[in-house]
Amino acid sequence: MVKVGVLALQGAFREHAEVFDALGAETCLVKRPDQLAGIDAIALPGGESTTQTKLLATSGLKDPLIQAMRDGLGCFATCAGMILLAAELHDARADQQPLALLDISVQRNGYGRQVLSFEAEIDIDGMPEGFTGIFIRAPRVTRVGNSVEVLASLGSDPVLVRCGNIWAAGFHPELSNDLRLHQLFLNQLATTEGV
């Protein structure tokens, strides 16, 4: 059985845990470095990326999380989670340094403020039917490095990317009733981990 930790410092972590639970994964909430032990992957939820960055530092999780992911820990990140993983942020505060674990550049709130939130049908590689993406103050990917695979786009903008076991979505699949994207992630994780 795959064990997924969900970063539970701020944001929509309960929703991610509920989806992974519904899919039969063992889940745990991660608030301290010792809770990274024994997990196969971590979900980085949507929320407020500046706050999450600060809480990663004050909780002592930042460096152990970076090391765990460099050592192969899988990751499923959405919205603010994508911002956390990025190599470069265009409009971040001076004190907001991303984890630089995914070779992408991101513009925070790239589609506008909360009032401009929207839903859009997107086609995802490996999924036979369209997926409704929920975009809330969503990041816009402005550059994708050579090591990063684009799995879905909205117009010309990548909105779902993958590099090995690290997946990042600019939208919120955990807020929909569609569990297929989380399942695709678990399927790949089980294949590569032999779980």
What is the SS3 assignment for 44?
A: strand
User: Is position 163 annotated as part of the catalytic site?
Assistant: no
| Residue of 16, 163, 172, 182 marked active site | 172
Ranges assigned E (strand) in the chain: 3-7, 26-30, 41-44, 74-78, 86-89, 102-107, 118-122, 131-135, 140-144, 149-154, 157-163, 166-169
User: Is position 182 annotated as part of the catalytic site?
Assistant: no
Q: How far apart are CA 134 and CA 168, in angstroms?
A: 14
Give yes or no for a contact between 49 and 96, defined as CB atoms under 8 angstroms apart.
yes
| Amino acid letter, 45 | P
Nearest to 41 by CA among 148, 189, 147, 172: 189
* Exposed/middle/buried for residue 95 (C-beta within 10 Å: 0-12, 13-18, 19+): exposed
| Residue of 16, 75, 79, 182 marked active site | 79
Q: Which residues pair with 118 in a beta bridge?
A: 135
| Residue of 16, 75, 174, 182 marked active site | 174
User: Is position 75 annotated as part of the catalytic site?
Assistant: no
Catalytic residues: 79, 172, 174
